[in-house]
Amino acid sequence: MSKKAFDKIAAGLTEALEIARGNAKPTKLYVPAEINVRAIRKKLGLSQDDFAQEFGFTINQIRDWEQGRSRPLDGLRAYLMIIEKNPQAVLNLLRSSAKIARKARKAA
Please give the average per-residue pLDDT across 32-59, as a whole number: 95
pTM over 0.75: no
Nearest-angstrom CA–CA distance, 71 and 36 = 9
Distance CA 36, CA 39 (A): 5
Contact 64, 21 (CB under 8 A): no
Question: What sign has the CA pseudo-torsion 74, 79, 84, 86?
Answer: positive
d(CA 10, CA 83): 21
Q: Which of 104, 9, 88, 100 is nearest to 55 (CA)?
A: 88
103 vs 90, residue with greater confidence: 90
Please determine, for residue 101, whether its predicted confidence score (pLDDT) is greater than 80: no
- pLDDT tops 80 at residue 8: no
pLDDT by residue (tens digit) across 49-81? 999 999 999 999 999 999 999 999 988 999 999
Query: Is residue 48 predicted with pLDDT exceeding 90?
Result: yes
Residue 1 confidence class, pLDDT cut points 50, 70, 90? low
| pLDDT tier, 15 (very low <50, low <70, confident <90, very high otherwise) | confident
- Sorted by where each starts, the structural domains of the chain and their CATH numbers stand as 30-103 (1.10.260.40)
